[in-house]
Structure 1
Amino acid sequence: MADRKEPRRGLGRGLSALMADVDAAAPSEQAGDAPSRRPDRVLPIDRIEPNPDQPRRSFTEPQLAELADSIRAKGIIQPLIVRPHPRTEGHYEIVAGERRWRAAQIAQLHDVPVLIREFDDVEVLEVAIIENIQRADLNPIEEAAGYRQLMFKFGHTQEKLAEALGKSRSHIANLMRLLNLPEDVQDMVTSGTLSAGHARSLITAPNPSDLAKKIVKKGLSVRAAEKLAKTASGGDQPKRKRPDGAFTFEKDADTKALEGDLSAALGMQVTVDHKPGQESGRITVSYDTLEQLDALCMILSSSR
């Protein structure tokens, strides 16, 4: 008898537990009018370790310094959320609040207030992603990667994420499309050199890296960037016939939108070749790593 498949879990205990402990709608971690949560206890800062799967990767020096100044003046208003360290007795791992932990070290605090929760590995990552997204604490690329992790690791759909996080499905889909751009263009978005709106206009362009540099150099508006990308794609002219025999017609807006939706849902580049006036066509899914291939196989097998 075939093994019974595990049902995909919905947004689980991690989300509800986090929302009970942290005011995710707070505009700032050190807001002057933010209510202070009662910590479970105070822990030595050297017994706390960061979460290696923390979705937030960029901690800028000016922001940490500003937070450290606030902590010196007011202390840590909102406790960190931690769990007992899975491998080191007597130590704890951060679930939410790594930036506060880093700033506390700059402020030379020896102890920090914490809330201790018994989260498993899945819930730790889920909570860390959702906490950052709810705080608008991630840049667009980090936020998109967070959505992708929630979908692939936990089986959440774009619709479920939109409902749980108070985001629109189009917001999630549009951000996830950014992950199909070359790494150098993603780096521009991460650093703030290129806005997410500019970057979206380059997703279907043939040479997004070159166009991104041109957009930044000339200081183009989003509308001008869209026009530049359309011109680079050949406008509405039919494409030349390729040697491999692939369809040569310029894709209409609906086909391009479908490619974008499928690419966002899978987190991989999806190409739809559909010859006008015919029923048949071809879908190509491109993966960059074996991990992506495994994820694709899981998605296809789970749908049977």
Structure 2
Amino acid sequence: MKKASAPPGASSGRAPEGRPLALPLEHIDEDPMQPRSAANPGFTVHSLAELAASIRMRGIKTPISVRHHPDRPGRYIINHGARRYRASRLAQLATIPGFIDDDYSETDQVVENLQRNELTAREIANYIGRELSKGLKRGQIASNISKSAAFVTQHAALLDLPEPVALAFNEGRVRDVTTVNELVTAYKSHPGEVAAWLREDEPEITRSAVKLLRAFLGAKFGEEDEITHGTGDATVVPSAAGPPASAQATLATPAGASRWRCTGILVRHGQGEGVLVLGRRPGGEGLAWLRRADGVEVEVALAGLVPLRLLGAGD
């Protein structure tokens, strides 16, 4: 393919002594296929305004990378540096420092942004989906972006989420991949309860909140629930109908860290708070023993409780 011509002095992609070119902003186009979406946190008005202010004061320290536009002679498409380009326009600059690199692929963009931690989980998943649709295997994709096969598998799972979890993920209420996977695990066992919990008006769903939800569901349904902790160790939370308090399960922690015992679950009950007594067997299904703030233990319906946090021996 014949390369498009460049403006005078820019044909080689180099200024004297290897210095970057001063590329006119009006000759540069963004890549419509770039992996970062319009919803990327780096593209918010506030984020770009901060970068523009820095550019006005200090200039651009890292040149952008562009390639010749295949269809529009004299123009360029951005390889790397869309934020710097947008912020430079906000700062009303006429030119931006950059190098021309026609040896480009979408994978190069993904790797660059992954190294800078500038891609959201959704953007990574969308890229993996496009690569899978081309017939690439997950192992090939992992090798191309220098990530593990598990990384690719985790993010590929984001392309096929249960509807309530997908809605929370797409709305940006939950961003962490591990947290999403834990939500899916909980949903498979208790779809109704998890869907109702996700309908609560919480702007952000954290990993600790999901851990607490799974512990609460384990107590509510009289089962042991394995909760992922830290680097992937399993945490076993005893059920309300389980063993006595002396046999409380221990939260697994990463190697070298101290171990922590879960002694109860703090919940909201009506207008007050109390602690679920995990080692005392309730009188029937859907019930649990609750220790109120005054120390009195009462049997209550689990359906009316709102989990707040896990408690340890010192709480």
TM-score interval, smaller chain: 0.5 to 0.7
Q: Matched residues in 1 for 2:163 and 2:89: separation?
A: 32
Q: Is the 8 A contact 1:82 1:115 kept in 2?
A: yes
Q: Does 1:95 align with 2:79?
A: yes
Q: Matched residues in 1 for 2:99 and 2:147: separation?
A: 27
Q: Matched residues in 2 for 1:102 and 1:164: separation?
A: 28
Which one of 179, 196, 201 corresponds to residue 182 of structure 2?
201
1:105 corresponding residue in structure 2: 89
Letter aligned with residue 202 of structure 2: V
2:262 corresponding residue in structure 1: none
Q: Matched residues in 2 for 1:42 and 1:209: separation?
A: 53
1:302 corresponding residue in structure 2: none
2:211 corresponding residue in structure 1: 223
Q: Does 1:177 align with 2:157?
A: yes
- Please list every run of 5 or more consecutive structure 2 residues that lacks an aligned counterpart in the other structure: 1-16, 225-315
Which one of 8, 18, 22 corresponds to residue 42 of structure 1?
22
Q: Matched residues in 1 for 2:204 and 2:28: separation?
A: 47
Q: C-alpha displacement at 1:87, in angstroms?
A: 1.1
1:134 corresponding residue in structure 2: 115
Provide closer, same or farther for how the CA distance between residues 188 and 52 of structure 1 changes in structure 2, counting only shifts above 3 A.
same
The alignment-based identity, stated in percent, is 31
Q: C-alpha displacement at 1:231, in angstroms?
A: 9.7
Q: SS of 1:194's equivalent?
A: coil
Q: Matched residues in 1 for 2:66 and 2:82: separation?
A: 10
Which one of 198, 208, 221 corresponds to residue 212 of structure 1?
198
Q: Matched residues in 2 for 1:82 and 1:217: separation?
A: 38
Letter aligned with residue 139 of structure 1: T
Q: Matched residues in 1 for 2:99 and 2:152: separation?
A: 30
Q: Is the 8 A contact 1:82 1:92 kept in 2?
A: yes
Provide closer, same or farther for how the CA distance between residues 64 and 128 of structure 1 changes in structure 2, counting only shifts above 3 A.
same
- What aligned pairs does 1:242-261 form with structure 2 within 5 A after superposition? none
Q: Is the 8 A contact 2:35 2:109 kept in 1?
A: yes
Q: Matched residues in 2 for 1:86 and 1:69: separation?
A: 33
Question: CA offsets, 1:43-63, max 9 Å, x none?
Answer: 110100000001101211111
Q: SS of 1:55's equivalent?
A: coil
Letter aligned with residue 136 of structure 1: N
Q: C-alpha displacement at 1:194, in angstroms?
A: 1.8
Q: Matched residues in 2 for 1:230 and 1:112: separation?
A: 57
- What aligned pairs does 1:24-103 form with structure 2 within 5 A after superposition? 39-57=19-37, 58=39, 59-103=43-87
Root-mean-square deviation (CA, aligned residues, Å) is 3.4
Of 204-213 and 224-233, the range deviating more from structure 2: 224-233
Q: Which has the higher contact order (CA 8 A, sep 6+)?
A: 1
Structure number with the higher strand fraction is 2
Provide closer, same or farther for how the CA distance between residues 232 and 111 of structure 1 changes in structure 2, counting only shifts above 3 A.
farther
Provide closer, same or farther for how the CA distance between residues 211 and 71 of structure 1 changes in structure 2, counting only shifts above 3 A.
same
Question: CA offsets, 1:54-101, max 9 Å, x none?
Answer: 110121111111111221122111111111111111000111111110
Q: Matched residues in 2 for 1:217 and 1:60: separation?
A: 18
Q: SS of 2:23's equivalent?
A: strand
Q: Is the 8 A contact 2:164 2:198 kept in 1?
A: no
Q: C-alpha displacement at 1:130, in angstroms?
A: 2.0
Question: CA offsets, 1:88-130, max 9 Å, x none?
Answer: 11000111111110011111111001110123xxx43222222
Q: How many pairs align?
A: 196
Q: C-alpha displacement at 1:138, in angstroms?
A: 1.1
Q: Matched residues in 2 for 1:218 and 1:88: separation?
A: 44
- Please list every run of 5 or more consecutive structure 1 residues that lacks an aligned counterpart in the other structure: 1-36, 237-304
Q: Matched residues in 2 for 1:93 and 1:128: separation?
A: 12
Q: Is the 8 A contact 2:183 2:210 kept in 1?
A: no
Q: Which has the larger radius of gyration?
A: 2
Q: Is the 8 A contact 1:82 1:93 kept in 2?
A: yes
